[in-house]
Amino acid sequence: MAKAKFTLYLTLVTLSTGFLIATSIESTKASLAERQNEKQFQQETQLNERILAEKEQNRQLEVQLLDLQRQVSKVEQAMAEHQSEAADILAQLDAARMMAGVVPVEGPGVIVTMQDKANAGESEDVTKYIVHEQDVRLVVNELRAAGAEAISINGQRLISNSAIRCVGPTIIVNGVKSAAPFVITAIGDPATLVNALNLPGGVLQTLEGFVQITVQSKDLVEIPAYVGDVKMESSSS
């Protein structure tokens, strides 16, 4: 009886020791993986912090740039008041700056919002009901044809060499990525712009069946300046 008891205890103790060893090995492995996760997490946090810092810095730089532009225009304005020749040139300069997209502009216009149909995922042909880059180009093109003077997509000013690309659910304009909804802002005669989009068989009718698109006419919209290198300089003769 005593022997049987002893055997039973021994078996149990050995068994539990085995489990102990197994668990300790397992937990060491787990903590190793955790440490790796921890490292990744730290890396992520670091990256996030750098991005935030960089964004803040960029915001300050943008303010500084706007300030400088204002200073420049003050100096130019003063010159224009003194001399008629300067006034002539300034008028041309203002126009050229607006057309080049290097200064923020405001005026009456429209805001077109495009996004995927809410139930796109449920339909059998998903690609039919999402916004494609050609849809965005189509709207932009129609606005241009209707006399839009300045256009931005999700806050990116379209300039003479802007490309509009879609990658997955994001749109890339001027190399800057942003997500849906795609908000196209245009300055021009609101009535003309809205009518052009609303033409029978026009853009709105074509797209409405496939994507969610709304057009709002506005008395005043603001379109930011294009921020970037002066790329033309290097190629000029």
Site for other proteins in 42-71 (CB under 8 A): 43-44, 47-48, 50-51, 54-55, 57-58, 61-66, 68-71
Q: Which helix (H) or strand (E) holds 206?
A: helix 203-208
How many residues does the structure list for the chain? Answer: 237
Specify the residue, 29 or 128, whose C-beta has the smaller distance to other proteins. 29
The amino acid at 95: A
The answer to the question of residue 191 lying near other proteins (CB under 8 A) is no
Shortest Å, Cβ 122 to other proteins: 27
Interface with other proteins in residues 89-118 (CB under 8 A):
89-90, 92-109
Structure tokens belonging to residue 236:
């000029």
**Of 115, 113, 98, 137, the residue nearest 223 (C-alpha):** 98
**Of 228, 226, 68, the residue nearest 150 (C-alpha):** 226
**Of 115, 118, 163, the residue nearest 135 (C-alpha):** 115
The answer to the question of residue 232 lying near other proteins (CB under 8 A) is yes
Question: What is d(CA 145, CA 185) in angstroms, rounded to the nearest whole number?
Answer: 15
Question: What is d(CA 10, CA 13) in angstroms, rounded to the nearest whole number?
Answer: 5
* Total residues in contact with other proteins, by rule CB under 8 A: 107
Interface residue with other proteins among 177, 195, 198, 216 (CB under 8 A) is: 177
Shortest Å, Cβ 132 to other proteins: 11
* Contact pattern for other proteins over residues 140 through 159, marking x by CB under 8 A: -xx-xx--xxxx------xx
Reduce the DSSP state of residue 79 to 3 states and report it: helix
The answer to the question of residue 179 lying near other proteins (CB under 8 A) is no
Specify the residue, 71 or 123, whose C-beta has the smaller distance to other proteins. 71
Specify the residue, 103 or 213, whose C-beta has the smaller distance to other proteins. 103
Specify the residue, 123 or 206, whose C-beta has the smaller distance to other proteins. 206
Structure tokens belonging to residue 38:
């921890």
Specify the residue, 121 or 177, whose C-beta has the smaller distance to other proteins. 177
